[in-house]
């Protein structure tokens, strides 16, 4: 009896010390939180990619999907780039977002703080906007 009690204590101690593994890495809940800018203000958004099989249908049948601007090029150049939103609750918000990649042409990779800055840079030829087929469920959960 003492041996099984000791074994139970070891198992319990190991469960308390070892990381949770896949549960801690889940993209659901606060694990999907990340910073994003909207009109110069930093917000916290909760972000989860939609299944690849449904993204094309969402893009085809949902005319009010918002845009989330990202830049893999900036990240690769060592520039910490926070996403930029084109809407939040109360301003034409839809919880579905299409990713648009920013490619820097004539200016070095940099952080933008609003969709208006991004659109102005695109109009000036400084950047190119490349829509992707990736769709995310995104909600604004707070300010920074």
Alpha helices for 1-144 (secondary structure H): 2-17, 52-61, 72-76, 115-123
Domains of the chain, by residue range, sit at: 26-143
CA distance 66 to 85: 8
SS3 percent helix, strand, coil of the chain, rounded to 5, is 35, 35, 35
pLDDT band of residue 36 (cuts 50, 70, 90) is very high
Verdict on whether the full-model pTM lies above 0.85: no
Does the pLDDT value for residue 96 go beyond 50?
Answer: yes
Among the residue ranges 26-30, 38-42, 62-66, 83-87, the one predicted with the least confidence is 26-30
């Amino acid at each position: 009896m003492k041996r099984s009690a000791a074994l139970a204590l070891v198992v319990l101690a190991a469960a308390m010390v070892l990381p949770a593994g896949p549960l801690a890495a889940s993209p659901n809940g606060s694990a999907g939180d990340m910073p994003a800018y909207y009109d110069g203000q930093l917000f916290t958004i909760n972000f989860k990619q939609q299944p690849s099989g449904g993204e094309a249908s969402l893009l085809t049948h949902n005319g009010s999907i918002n845009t989330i601007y990202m830049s893999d090029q900036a990240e690769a150049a060592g520039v910490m780039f926070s996403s930029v939103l084109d809407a939040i609750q109360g301003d034409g918000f839809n919880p579905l977002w299409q990713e648009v990649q920013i490619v820097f042409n004539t200016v070095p990779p940099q952080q933008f703080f609003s969709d208006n800055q991004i659109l102005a840079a695109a109009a000036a030829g400084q950047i190119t906007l490349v829509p992707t087929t990736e769709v995310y469920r995104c909600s604004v959960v707070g300010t920074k």
